[in-house]
Structure 1
Amino acid sequence: MIWLVPLLVLLYLTFTRRWRCKNEPPLDPGLIPWLGHALEFGKDVPRFINRMKLKHGDIFTVRVAGRYVTWLLDPHSYDAVIDDPDALDFACYAQVLMERIFNLQLPLQQPAKAKAMMKGYFLGTSMSTLNSTMGRHLETLLKTETLQNQRNWKKEGLFNLSYSLLFRAGYLTLFGGEQNNNSTDPCRVYEEFKKFDGFLCKLARGTLGAEERKTAQSVRRRLWELLAPAGLTESSGSSRWLYAYRQLLQEDGVDEETQRKALLMQLWATQGNVGPAAFWLLGYMLTNPEALMAVKRELGQISRMENSGTPLVQRSENTPVFDSVLEETLRLTTAPFITREVVKDKILCMADGQEYLIRKGDRVCLFPFISPQMDPDIYQEPQVGCRFFFKQLRRSCSAANSSCSACLRDVLEADFGVISISGCLCKLESESTQHRERSDQELRATQGSAEHGNRNRDDGRGKDTHVSFEKQNNK
């Protein structure tokens, strides 16, 4: 009976092994049954994909944990994937992620309705209104911090400073209205969201340990409770978009508990990327003197516009240098997967004229970080951030080039937020310099008065007294 074991293994490998058919992309299933390349893929995604690209070219299929994934790395062919929702569907994969990350199940058509509704609130004059509101909250938060620390400088890590300020300002703009008007402290929401964000990747992959799963579920429940009052009524102080979103959920028959889960999903979608993007942007400027000086000059012009009474939203629209630094930072740091499920066999037409058959049941992934963002054929020394675009160029799919209103909102929030932070910090630096100058002037005036008084004395001790004053002052 022992001979049955190797026979069963042989039969399993024979009937589960996939063979490349005519006109299909190069197939690389890996050496380990079922797992395939999962271990290498999990360790270092860009390195693995680069190795496969050198081996197979711009399109190939690999096996990862039982799934066959076709990677397309030719940016000129990305539109063939993005523009075919009939054969290449995102909704199914999105439903899987919603359930894994947010424990959320929505009606199938609901996300499409929400997306269509969102465009009315995050484009045009509505976006300008949101920008104005967010700018007001940012300035209020920054002034609150400075008022509390007038005597002593407060030390804060750059990441936490960027993330905290932009998250709280964004939360107040979309979810919270004025501070504490719905009895929810934005600082508490931020702290809980930070914990939740730390589990997000493992939640998406389904790789949480027992203790991690318990903690993640507890944090998620606390966030549901904190978000419960947001958007319930028009007078709740939340944005018009959030109130309309909750109305849409109610019309679709979504219960109160599920609405709270949906609000957490929207909180992550609207605030999860803005703070980290602002951190990388500030870090990039601080470590690149040329970029920092160019942005400072441009912000100086914005400050002059401020003195003329120009609204901050209009001031932030004419910043070509800053925009170029933002785009270069996004090129260096953003690495999203664009994923589609193959719901029916498809002939994929490449930009070079080649045609490949993509099988139903597979998954197609685009990874713009490899190409065009880090492609040495496009950028010389792509790991070095030194490129400035002072006009809009025609670019293929990239992190900074998207028609998605949510992506545009994130970029605008990061742009607007960093301009506000930088402007405020420049103002603080200027006020600090002025304060030091006033202190020096007062000190010199005091010294001059002491010297003048000592010189008018007749007891002969004026010079010694003046020296003693200087020594004490030096101490």
Structure 2
Amino acid sequence: VLFQLRNPSSPPCIRSWIPWFGAAFQFGKAPLEFIEQARSKHGPVFTIFALGKRFTFVTEEEGTEAFFNSKDLNFEQAVQQAVENAVSVPAEAFYQNHGTLYSMMKGKMSPSNLHVFTGTLCKELHEHMAPLGTEGTGDLNDLVRHVMYPAVVNTLFGKGICPTSQSEIKEFEEYFQMYDEDFEYASQMPECFLRNWSKSKKWLLKLFEKVVLDAERTNPSETASKTLLQHLLDNLQGKHLGPNYGLLMLWASQANALPIAFWTLTFILSYPSIYEKVMEDLASVFGKAGKDEIEVSEETLKKLPFIKWCTLEAIRLRSPGAITKKVINPIKIQNFTIPAGDMLMLSPYWLHRNPKYFPDPEVFKPDRWKEANLEKNAFLDSFVAFGGGKHQCPGRWFAIMEIQLFVVLFLYKYEFVLLDAVPKESPLHLVGTQQPMAPFRVQYKCQE
């Protein structure tokens, strides 16, 4: 049952006759579809009551400046409970560590530091593409995961620290996939409702006890030789929480970058003119495809801006349904007053479909990124996939680089025949990148 609160200064509120659960059942089934229906019925600002909380959505540009800059909103309070549910970090430890760890990650993964990772990541990607052989058939999403997961983990955590051998990786992938698929629900609901997810979390935390011990045992004294995990452990207050933060770092490094790499490849391969342009660019930098392994540096990537545009355009089209902050003092958005205690949800997914900023918003158009000043690390107006203000994703430049590097190596080595129609994005994910609804099988063989 949908109905509007009587207070005219409050946004329309959607709830149900079940007191605590509210609209959780309808909302949880397909969040993006639910939001689309709510936008059509109630306008761009509305509240959903679910699981004992009020979630107020802002789906157009009015309110974005307040969302990113207002002191009446708080990011840490919005995500603290989710982090506690997801990786069992208590509130006190979260507030104690968040600022320090965020600053460390932001510095280590800044544009000026990417060269530290590029060479290692390039070698790792080559190594993990090798088992694909000279030809084969498979779901593109699986192919991306099997190459990128071990390569990125070895780059950020240190080679051999996490399970990346073929014998160990299958069990790990099963547990991590179970953990990732229900992460969104588990971050909001009591663990007792999600028994399989709880099992995967316990298994992964147990694994990370060993991962952290290995990282500490091999932790070098020279700063330049440390992995990102070792930097995290050096800065962490409460060393017993190393496995918890290690798991959080693993999830953050994989959960969004892998599906975006899949979508970037999918969009390029499904638009012949775009694929042709990408291959021309690769040939102009590396020579004709099909040569031996190529070395790709940060400087080389700068010569391939079109592939970066393709990556950013895929991110625009498959951005999260919502990013969140907690209202700590009442705040005015449009003609509504949002009360303290609400979770304010800004929707990148819908903002990126505003034709005022993105003409033909549903079309994959990499050329629109010509207008962005990417040399100065500036995105297009109203592009908010990584957040904004002082709490932007600290790993955003690494994520763009890793996807760009993977696409370069994959398309330079292999040519593809598409065996399925391009899948639609799943409406099930609100917080993370949109996943494909169906398999996307491809036939691949080495370029001649």
The TM-score normalised by the length of structure 2 is: 0.78
Q: Aligned partners of 1:238, 1:98: CA distance in 2, in Å?
A: 29
**For the Cα contact (< 8 Å) 1:40–1:48, is it kept in 2?**
yes
After superposing the two structures, state which structure 1 stretch, 125-134 or 392-401, moved more: 392-401
Match of 1:123 among 110, 114, 127: 110
Whole-angstrom distance in 1 between the partners of 2:155 and 2:371: 29
Change (3 A) 1:299 1:210: closer
- Which among 72, 83, 98 is matched to residue 111 of structure 1? 98
SS at match of 1:391: helix
1:175 to partner: Cα distance: 0.6
**1:52-72 per-position Cα deviation (integer Å, ceiling 9, x unaligned):** 222332222232233222111
CA contact (8 A) 2:4 2:14 kept: no
Alignment of 1:114-263 (within 5 A): 114-142=101-129, 144-145=130-131, 149=133, 153-177=135-159, 180=160, 182=161, 184-185=163-164, 187=166, 188=168, 191=173, 192-206=175-189, 209=193, 211-213=195-197, 215-232=199-216, 233-235=218-220, 239-249=226-236, 252=237, 254-256=238-240, 258-263=241-246
Aligned counterpart, 1:335: 320
CA separation of 1:185/1:162 partners in 2, compared to 1, >3 Å: closer, same or farther? closer
- Going from structure 1 to structure 2, the CA distance change for 1:379 and 1:185 (only over 3 Å counts) comes to closer
Indicate if the aligned counterparts of 1:223 and 1:264 stay in contact, CA closer than 8 A. no
| Corresponding residue of 2:395 | 406
Q: Is 1:58–2:44 an aligned residue pair?
A: yes
- Contact 1:102/1:261 (CA < 8 Å) preserved in 2? yes
Aligned to 1:82: 68
Distance 1:230 1:318, change over 3 A: farther
Post-superposition Cα deviations, 1:330-378, rounded to whole Å, max 9, x if no partner, equal 2222224211111222234xxxxx45322111111111212x2234565
Asked if residue 383 in structure 1 is aligned to residue 362 in structure 2, the reply is yes
Q: Does the aligned pair in 2 maintain the 1:327–1:400 contact within 8 Å?
A: no
Matching residue of 1:448? none
1:441 aligned partner: none
* Residue 30 of structure 1: how far off its partner (Å): 4.7
Of residues 119-128 and 388-397 in structure 1, the stretch that sits farther from structure 2 once superposed is 388-397
For 1:68, the equivalent position in structure 2 comes to 54
- 1:295 matches 2:295: no
The answer on whether the counterparts of 1:58 and 1:72 sit within 8 Å (CA) in structure 2 is yes
Amino acid at match of 2:212: A
Measured in 2, the distance between the counterparts of 1:242 and 1:412 equals 19
Separation in structure 2 between the aligned mates of residue 18 and residue 425 of structure 1, nearest angstrom:
55
Percent of matched pairs sharing the same residue: 22
Cα deviation code 1:234-270 (max 9, x no counterpart): 3499844322211111xx2x133x2111101111112
Distance 1:220 1:311, change over 3 A: closer
Q: Distance in 2 between the 1:210 and 1:119 partners?
A: 33
Aligned counterpart for 2:345 among listed residues 358, 365, 378: 365
Does residue 94 (structure 1) correspond to residue 79 (structure 2)? The answer is: yes
Question: Unmatched 5+ residue regions in structure 1?
Answer: 1-16, 349-353, 434-475
Asked whether the equivalents of residues 59 and 72 of structure 1 are also in contact (C-alpha less than 8 Å), the reply is yes
SS in 1 for 2:337: strand
Contact conserved, 1:376 with 1:382, CA < 8 A, in 2? yes
Counterpart mapping for 1:405-444 below 5 A:
405-425=394-414, 433=448
How much does 1:379 deviate?
5.1
Q: Judge conservation of contact 2:352–2:383 (CA < 8 Å) in 1.
A: no
Report the CA distance shift for 1:272/1:54 in structure 2 as closer, same or farther (over 3 A). Answer: closer
Cα pair 1:334 1:399 within 8 Å, conserved = yes
1:30/1:37 contact within 8 Å kept: yes
Partner of residue 31, structure 2: 45
Aligned to 1:439: none
Alpha-carbon distance change, 401 to 102 in structure 1, aligned in 2, over 3 angstroms: closer
AA at the equivalent of 1:385: F
Q: String of CA shifts for 1:148-170, please: whole Å, max 9, x gaps.
A: x46xx344321111112111111
- State which structure, 1 or 2, has the greater radius of gyration over its C-alpha atoms: 1
In structure 2, the partner of 1:397 is 383
Return closer, same or farther for 1:81/1:276 CA change in 2, 3 Å cut-off: same
Query: What secondary structure sits across from 1:357 in the alignment?
Result: strand
| Equivalent residue letter for 1:388 | D
Does structure 1 retain, via aligned residues, the 8 Å contact 2:14–2:47?
A: yes
State the Cα RMSD in Å.
3.3
Q: State whether structure 2 residue 281 is matched by structure 1 residue 281.
A: no
Structure with more of its chain in helix, by fraction: 1
3-state SS, counterpart of residue 55 of structure 2? strand
Shift of 1:204: 1.9
CA distance in 2, matches of 1:30, 1:270: 37
1:112–1:63 Cα change, 3 Å? same
Unaligned runs of 5+ in 2: 373-379, 417-443
Is 2:73–2:325's contact at 8 Å kept on the other side of the alignment? Answer: yes
Report the 3-state secondary structure (helix = DSSP H, G, I; strand = E; otherwise coil) of the residue aligned with 2:95: coil
Structure 1 length-normalised TM: 0.74
Alignment check: 8 A CA contact 1:87 1:342 kept? yes
Distance 1:311 1:165, change over 3 A: closer
Structure 1 pair 34/432, CA: closer, same or farther in 2 (3 Å)? closer
Q: Which SS does the other structure have where 1:70 is aligned?
A: strand
**Aligned-partner Cα distance in 1 for 2:386–2:404:** 12
Mapped to 1, the partners of 2:383 and 2:17 lie a distance apart of 33
